[in-house]
Chains A and B, each alone.
Chain A
């Protein structure tokens, strides 16, 4: 028989043979029926049957653990002697939030497969009628228990049938989609941090774990409505869960069994109590997904436009002022030689672009490696802050005339930023970007949030656009001889200008010292002050050497001291500052606040209090300015008191995965972010990044309703 003929015969056999029959039953809000993967069954054979639900739009039925309320779909078979049927193979559910509760269930078409086994003595040539009663709780906003008496007429034949018919493929898919056990190791631990579940295994290594979630089989072990935090590790992930009442009972759970949603994959896991695997953590939360992010709706073109605009606005941010002042002085020196000015402008542009791209590249690589970093991340590291502080100090000392760089007196800027003309301009650009980065300007936030969720090429393009926008005003100035000509001719006034501009640079160094103090405490500050002193001495020695021909010893001494200072800023590692709460920002403390935690926020919202959340960082100058001009105000304090609103401060000065995750949830890659939650449990209102006192008061009043 040729294969084609064989196929035809098979097809005829299937057509002519009595096939499995079942009728769908309408229970009110769903259609239920029993379906099979094969048209018949052979004695002793195990086939897959399934309970199929076609649920009305807007309604849902439940998973094996229905969550905070609800009831799992149940089936009770009435089988002839010898026939057996297994449990449902449950597909992973969807979470259904209902007010403050969360249920787990399904909507639309749902197949729940089961393995049905015929006894060896099943009567060949006959059709067996199998009966089952299915019980559903079908819910929309309200719930209705519905049930169906179902019947399946299944022919018994001698030859084991192969999967065929309308439902063969859907049942195969349902079985395939069911969570399966993989080579995963899971442990859980309860402590002050709540309930932590760590899962490791090759299947999780290097995966995109955004949106990971644990669905427990037991409804008593975790708070279903509490958000689950995700931290990645080199070999897996750690979920932060909220323990539920089972942990309060006399016999707390010894195992947590359920389905782990890891990225897009589903695994069945069984976690035992025990120490968490260290390889399941350490890399921070997954990078935000584009879904749900503020910038999610942005196309590339729009993101580029925003980025360029944001870059220009960045020039107005307070943190860039000192650098721009330095650049202005440099430009003034070249004002009257058009060609030089242009080349300087372009070199500045190159420096800006190179730095933006380098930072973006580092950020993308770090995120790809799993670190919880956002924009401005470099300022979360104490050694970087310390090094930048010393750099500012060096620039300031240079501007003060303590030392000159190279033989040239015309270059203005730090040792690097002043080298010759072009290199100097280039490094001025580098410096400007380094300190400008933490000031995420209003238009940059969505663009950056978007960029960091995109393919690296698009992300780099956005950052390049940002750089173009940032450098544009200066480049334009350099290319506008008319404007340049208005600047006074170089002369002694330039010396005075440089001396004056030293002071904003000292200010920048002082600010970075303050940032470091918040990150590493008083000991960190003492260390940085000591290294600053050594660096200043080195600068003076260097300056001294410049005044003498030779002076090799002095130069060597200066270089040694400078090297020592720089090494001391980086090594040994800085201590962690004491936990926030006793924040040194005491001068503006008229506004009472509490430190932010997701638990405290949830608690306040449960109590029906309006809440104002301020995501801030000491190194974010925009944040600090907002606190001064818009938050630390009598009007705001009065409104807080009058509305009973609670002010929560989420301080991101130090690396904090919980805050990073919360920022990501709101589609942000950095601070500031201001949220106002009303008393009615609505979604929070996002305030603009440039705050005014009036806007804050208005939002608080609206929230109190």
Chain B
């Protein structure tokens, strides 16, 4: 072993160790029946929105990514827009959240987000832009779509998939059991949410 080899091998060993240690930052995992994680995020109109400002109203959080085929399944035929419109009619605050990091699929600038809303006829109360993924991580959002419902007292009452059809095929919309519709109906009727959790499905959130 020559003296010059040693530092280089050391450096290599160090690099290898670093590479081996790449550990993804973890997601938090929110608890049903507990206060939903508070957040502050800027919406597509540039306004800072917080969960607290909607206290007293039911809030739906919808993680979305325009490029994701599973999201497209719900938007292309207008199914998601329909849900958003109906929610608004019932006084439910629907927040679409984009947690894609800059450069990743689905990332949107405020102008792009507004254009997307116009183009698709989406009707959320606001589109929250979360390019650093802080809101997504706080809620443990894994997929697009990934749905959360927070009751007027700020308690998390539903989390999971939008329906029971883990597929990107639009044909599966017909006959699907929509868990968000069911949960909102339960809440409107003053019942507990019968099915408060379900498997989220779709593309991974592009943190």
Contacts and interface: CB of A to CB of B under 8 A. Distances in A.
Interface of A: 68-71, 97-103, 135, 137, 139, 141-145, 219-220, 223, 225-226, 242, 244-246, 248-250, 291-298, 301-302, 305, 446, 602-603, 605-608, 665-667, 681-684, 686
A681 B166 CA distance: 30
Interface in B132-162: 132-134, 137-138, 142-143, 159-160
B206 A141 contact: yes
Contact of B26 (A143, A219, A603): A603
A564 to B, nearest CB: 50
B29 interface: yes
Given A226-B26, A294-B13, A141 B104 contact: yes
B204 A606 contact: no
A665 B22 CA distance: 11
Nearest to B99: A99
B73 to A, nearest CB: 9
B105 A142 contact: yes
Contacts of B202: 69
A298 B137 CA distance: 38
25 contacts: A69-B203, A69-B204, A71-B166, A98-B24, A98-B204, A100-B24, A100-B27, A100-B133, A101-B204, A142-B203, A143-B203, A144-B69, A145-B168, A225-B24, A226-B26, A248-B31, A249-B195, A294-B17, A297-B12, A305-B6, A602-B25, A607-B134, A666-B21, A683-B19, A683-B22
A100 to B, nearest CB: 5
Interface in B1-38: 1, 6, 9, 12-14, 16-29, 31-33
A216 to B, nearest CB: 12
A684 B67 contact: no
A101 B29 CA distance: 12
Chief secondary structure at chain B's binding surface: loop
A109 to B, nearest CB: 24
B119 to A, nearest CB: 20
A71 B201 contact: yes
A607 B138 contact: yes
A68 B26 contact: no
A354 B97 CA distance: 65
A142 B25 contact: no
Contact of A683 (B18, B166, B197): B18
A102 B25 CA distance: 11
A600 to B, nearest CB: 11
Given A246-B197, A248-B32, A291 B26 contact: no
A225 B132 contact: no
B94 interface: no
A116 B203 CA distance: 33
B204 A681 contact: no
A99 B23 CA distance: 9
Given A102-B24, A245-B32, A608-B25, 16 more contacts: A97-B24, A98-B24, A99-B24, A100-B133, A139-B204, A220-B197, A226-B26, A245-B160, A248-B31, A248-B197, A249-B197, A294-B13, A605-B25, A665-B21, A681-B24, A682-B22
A100 B25 contact: yes
B92 interface: no
Nearest to B20: A292
B137 to A, nearest CB: 4
B169 interface: yes
Most chain A Cβ neighbours within 10 Å, of B13, B104, B196, B206: B13
A294 B12 CA distance: 10
A628 B16 CA distance: 32
A308 B27 CA distance: 44
B29 to A, nearest CB: 6
Contacts of A246: 197
Most chain B Cβ neighbours within 10 Å, of A101, A608, A686: A101
A101 B205 contact: yes
A142 B168 contact: no
A50 B9 CA distance: 46
Contacts of A99: 24-25, 133, 204-207
B13 A100 contact: no
B194 to A, nearest CB: 8
A607 B137 contact: yes
B77 interface: no
B197 A606 contact: no
Contacts of B121: none
A439 B140 CA distance: 41
Contact of A68 (B17, B20, B22, B143): B143
B78 interface: no
